Amino acid sequence: MGRLFGTDGVRGIANKELTPELAFNLGKAGAYVLKKENDKPVVIIGKDTRISGDMLESALTAGILAVGGNVIKVGVIPTPAVAYLSKYYETDAGIVISASHNTFEYNGIKFFNGDGYKLDDLLEEKIEDIIISSIDVNSHITGDKIGKCLDAGEDAEELYIKHLLDTVNFRLDGKKIVLDCANGASYRIAEKVYRSLGAEIIIIGNDPNGININDGCGSTHPEMLVDKVKESNADIGLAFDGDADRLIVVDETGEVIDGDRVIAICARMLKEQGRLAENKVTATVMSNIGFHKAMEESQIEVDVTGVGDRYVLEKMLETGCVIGGEQSGHIIFREYTTTGDGVLSSLQFMGAIINSGKSLSQLAGEIEIFPQVLVNARINNDYKKTYMQDSQICDAIVKIEEELDENGRVLIRPSGTEPLVRVMLEGDDEEKIHALAHQLADLIEKKFK
């Protein structure tokens, strides 16, 4: 068995790769590791709307109870809600059962610590070592040493909604807003939040049946949202993914506003309000050159990390930065949350629009987003760490960069899971960068098959 934990927990096809047996063992091993700090650890568990959620929740719970841990089950709820509630309930850990933006047959298990941050790498490694080494940590305790499911005592969903509403001080009366909840974890919460602020709501992707999560809807498929915004003459469309930790926006004309532009607009708002700590924003290597130019114009410094929200958060904690995220719409507002939160991000974005006094299309139009082309080059895995040492490849990259000058860039990175190198070019001439990207990918494939 290879490494279990990726950058976003354990993930795979439910009941094939992510089996109830594995979930049971993750529950046992996780509770066992947590018992080093607390003899009877308390773990809160939430899930999205996938059909496999009940199965994995039951298996995880059984594993935790079997080694003496206690469980609070909060049902269908966004990933960031579990992070928030882990701290609110003073638990030892939180677990989310979700595969985020993936299709329904996948599922995942992600751990948070008691402060709502993703579990430390060392603890993940301890859990992983126990499972991979087939160590039986089940001491077959009996009697009152067995764990039990606890009553939260308060409505977890309402607690989270109150937390979201506490982050804003405006009303949305007279605003027509389309919400796309991806048939996922936000399907009740997003509507309640926006109705309580007085907005006129049109909602799609809010009828989950276990298999339609992210199916042609949500942040990864905004086409339906675009149509609904234009058809209803709405002021804005807001799309979340299956576990509601991402946000993609559609303006009143039907144009899609990605995470780069959302972050840029919100960073400018924070700077104007004197809340942009360290005058910094954090983004990944995939952030658009247009984003960087917009931040430069606003005299905001950009810290750049590897791809993955984990790396974004690590850098933010290191520097004191309060806003960061990814093109995909995974955005962290560290004043209010410890992880990406789609609904919370949408509220902060609505605040930025209101404060600007402009329409969303005007605001977004101030940030030029350059075309990006991504081409996969299939190579032998043996070369995934050495291909950049080849002089011909290096010379080809230098030549492309000279051709693009300051209005473009080249980014090449290996896939973490497949025998691929991803070639990304960015520039102001889409036809040109498309041709150059394919030329470079073809060269890499030819040399390193």
- Catalytic center residues: 100
Beta-sheet pairing, 149-150 with 70-76: parallel
Q: What are phi and psi of 236, to 5 degrees?
A: -165, 155
Nearest-angstrom CA–CA distance, 295 and 367: 9
CA 29 vs CA 22, 25, 70, 128, 219: distances in Å: 10, 6, 14, 8, 34
Please tell me the distance from the alpha carbon of residue 207 to that of residue 209, in angstroms, as a whole number: 7
Q: Could you tell me the two tokens for 161? A: 């909604």
Tell me the two tokens of residue 343. Answer: 């609904």
CA 345 to chain centre: 12
Dihedral angle at the C-alpha atoms of 77, 78, 81, 83, nearest 10 degrees?
120
116 phi, psi to nearest 5 deg: 85, 10
Nearest alpha carbon to residue 219 among 198, 236, 237? 237
* Cβ atoms of residues 338 and 83 within 8 Å: yes
Which residues 6+ apart lie within 8 Å of 301 measured at CB? 278, 279, 280, 281, 295
Separation between Cα atoms, residue 276 and residue 241, nearest integer Å = 27
- Of residues 299, 5, 88, 344, the one with CA closest to residue 193: 344
- How far apart CA 227 and CA 11 sit, in angstroms, is 32
CB-count burial class (<10 Å; 0-12, 13-18, 19+) for 78: buried
* Angle at which helices 20-34 and 121-132 cross, to 10°: 130
* Residue 399, SS3 per DSSP: helix
Residue type, 285: V
| Residue showing tokens 């806003």 | 323
Contacts of 426 (CB under 8 A, 6+ apart): 288, 289, 370, 371, 372, 373, 408, 409, 411, 433
